[in-house]
Structure 1
């Protein structure tokens, strides 16, 4: 039995993929401490892991300007977000709450980058990197228009390295070069997708373990009247913009205008923190709106998914063979959406050209042509065959038991 430390970014799309993995480790006899924020206590404790918390802003990715998802034009913007928004406020707190504890290995979130390396170094243990999106062959934001001589880029470099050296001095570790902050570290890199779906997979070595999405029941998910889905209409469509980017009432009004007269039942997940009351008078009869939808169950009942193309939501939809209309907004979403469209499982709608007519046309395209469903099934089969959380956990345990011997 090994003692395992798990440190994951406090966000739905990063915590959820690890839950099956952690439960499998616990059920196999590993002693797991999971360090995260109070917001995720219930679902983490359901894995059997010991929960250790540190203070952090609730709904931080919506409220903290350093963490708000952005459209990166240069990879230094992404690195700055990691250092200022993640590593600086989180890593010292993690080290504080685990002080005097010993572990055999670490599993840390890729969004923490160099921060995971710090924890492993301070504890003197090997690490595994948990990658909740695609593995980045190139840093996020590379080749997007800004060059290294841009004054804004130089300013970002200076600010990033200033924080990096400050933290390195505080924690008594070596400061990395800026190119060493974001890359996926660790002896193993667990990627919750398939080699087929991963762009440029041929450029990634065998330390990248592709396991597919971690599909496990979420016991905290509310019930939903699925029997109502096809009472009035033969097709059903699910709309969700994730848990961070779901407060845009103008987008919801656009959906109402685009879809109100279609013979389709729509289910919209508005988010727990979104006030929908101002829109109450204009909600069409063919819409069911709830703040939180049991997404895994919903995706097994719908014909298409309108989404922001977050990696978690996209993978879950493809796992259940659901074609998609994608409106990528920030971060890695354009990459994810582009890959789905490239493989023929969905249509991308440019957020800058989004109108009721363009959104309606994209949905009708997906619903009217079976090839989108067929290609979603091809990707879905690759995800289902990847092994899931069992493969991830068994690979990790096998790796470290071999080292011990």
Structure 2
């Protein structure tokens, strides 16, 4: 079977799911490639959609300071980009002739291309709440379809990467994680790989470092590259980047922007969260974590070190958060590994 996987050229969309999934298809005897933009063409098993830019290609970030302005409205569906993605995919697919197209949640060109080709399409749901952020999504997809003179079809298979308690009515799998443990800090704090593109002028990480410095525990904060001009508390290790999953394996609390991959890793490790969402589906992820009582949702607008330290202390001290997080992690561990998706997809076809 020939499988064409499609993804936006964003590292957190391709890893740790789409690239390993392409590898899993190949290991099971299928021919699998990933169509993505030039920015991620260095990854294995990729073919290039030349017209698909990466977020950094859109120029300087907007004048956004999250602690002053609140969450950022990020467009998650751009009609012209979807048209260009579908056209790029069709150029490749008409020669390569895939049997099925498997897209990640935020890449919609793959669905349109499959509908034009008259082949099945499936979804690896790396951001289950993201479509809820797009107004008139079905209408906008239909506008794109009209340009290709094609009708819509439903996916033959949708693979969720968290248990039904997070997002029901899907097939559910778990992503294998690094189980290495070490004598790590009690609190791990990071705001993701994409947030750094937008943080120019923001002192949010300074606020977080200050808050962590007020706690009687060891912490680590990912601060990205560039000169650090913020506080340097003695109990806080500042690193450009961190081995997130490895540190979560022994952490007591995770301070996070509530991106889906980070939330999924926290659920896997059984670590309660202090979620400070910034954009896209993150507010819904943070609200869901609070609803499940595996953490608290904190608004970024007006955030102070005192307020954040208070919330972290609350989650550290309340045993119910840790108990609930452990229960949810046990449910996660019972899911089949996502490298079994190829077999399930073949059955669905």
Smaller-chain TM-score range? Answer: 0.7 to 0.9
Output the CA distance in 2 between the equivalents of 1:348 and 1:140. Answer: 18
Decide which of 137, 140, 147 is 2:133's aligned counterpart: 140
The Cα of 1:226 is off from its aligned counterpart by 4.9
How far residue 216 of structure 1 moved from its aligned partner, in angstroms, is 4.7
CA contact (8 A) 2:9 2:53 kept: no
Aligned residues: 336
- Shifted more, 326-335 versus 290-299: the winner is 290-299
State the Cα deviation string for residues 338-371 of structure 1 (Å, max 9, x = none).
1111111101111124111110000001111221
SS at match of 2:78: helix
In structure 2, relative to structure 1, the CA distance for the partners of 1:269 and 1:38 (3 Å cut) is farther
Q: Distance in 1 between matches of 2:297 and 2:132?
A: 22
What corresponds to 1:124 in structure 2? 118
Whether the aligned pair in 1 keeps the contact of 2:8 and 2:54 (CA below 8 Å) is no
Residue 59 of structure 1, CA deviation: 4.1
Q: For residue 20 of structure 2, give the secondary structure of its aligned residue in structure 1.
A: helix
Counterpart position of 1:12:
11
Residue deviations 1:75-122, cap 9 Å, x none?
Answer: xx85xx413474134332233344411111110122233x23321123
1:215 is matched with 176
Cα deviation for residue 389 of structure 1 reads: 0.7
Gaps of 5+ in 1: 143-147, 149-156, 219-223, 230-234, 401-405
Q: Using a 3 Å threshold, how does the CA distance of structure 1 residues 337 and 315 change in structure 2: closer, same or farther?
A: same
Residue in structure 2 matching 1:173, options 149, 152, 158: 149
Aligned to 1:145: none
Given the alignment of the two structures, is residue 100 of structure 1 paired with residue 87 of structure 2, yes or no? no
- From 159, 177, 186, give the equivalent of 1:190: 159
Instruction: Quote the residue 2:195 is aligned against.
Output: 245
Q: Does 1:299 align with 2:293?
A: no
Q: Separation in 1 of the partners of 2:80 and 2:126?
A: 18
CA positional deviation for 1:284:
2.0
- Which residue among 186, 205, 215 is the counterpart of 1:236? 186
Alpha-carbon shift at residue 62 of structure 1 (Å) = 7.5
The whole-number CA distance in structure 1 between the counterparts of 2:36 and 2:81 is: 12
Structure 2 gap ranges (5+): none
Trace 1:325-336 onto structure 2 (pairs within 5 A).
325-336=274-285
Is the 1:6–1:106 contact (alpha carbons within 8 Å) kept by the matching residues of 2? yes
CA distance in 2, matches of 1:299, 1:41: 30
Q: 2: distance between equivalents of 1:314 and 1:269? A: 16
SS in 2 for 1:215: coil
Which stretch has the larger CA shift, 104-113 or 333-342?
104-113
**Which residue of structure 2 aligns with residue 352 of structure 1?**
301
Structure 2 distance, partners of 1:226, 1:119, is 46
Q: 1:270 to 1:91 in 2, by over 3 A?
A: farther
In the alignment, the residues of structure 2 paired with residue 244 and residue 63 of structure 1 have an alpha-carbon distance, to the nearest angstrom, of 14
The C-alpha deviation readout for 1:153-211, integer Å capped at 9, x for no partner, is: xxxx9xx69x946x854xx424x7xxx7xxx941111111111222xx3xx4xxx2122
* Deviation by residue 1:245-283 (Cα, 9 ceiling, x = unmatched): 135340111112222242222212223xx42x1416x32
Cα 1:64–1:121 shift into 2, 3 Å:
farther
The alpha-carbon distance between structure 1 residues 250 and 296, as it changes in their structure 2 partners (threshold 3 A), is same
> Residue in 2 aligned with 1:340?
289
TM-score by length of 2: 0.84
TM-score normalised by the chain length of structure 1: 0.73
Secondary structure of the equivalent of 2:106? helix
Check if 1:57 corresponds to 2:53. yes
SS of 1:82 mapped into structure 2: coil
Q: Give the conservation status (yes or no) of the 8 Å contact 1:258–1:359.
A: yes
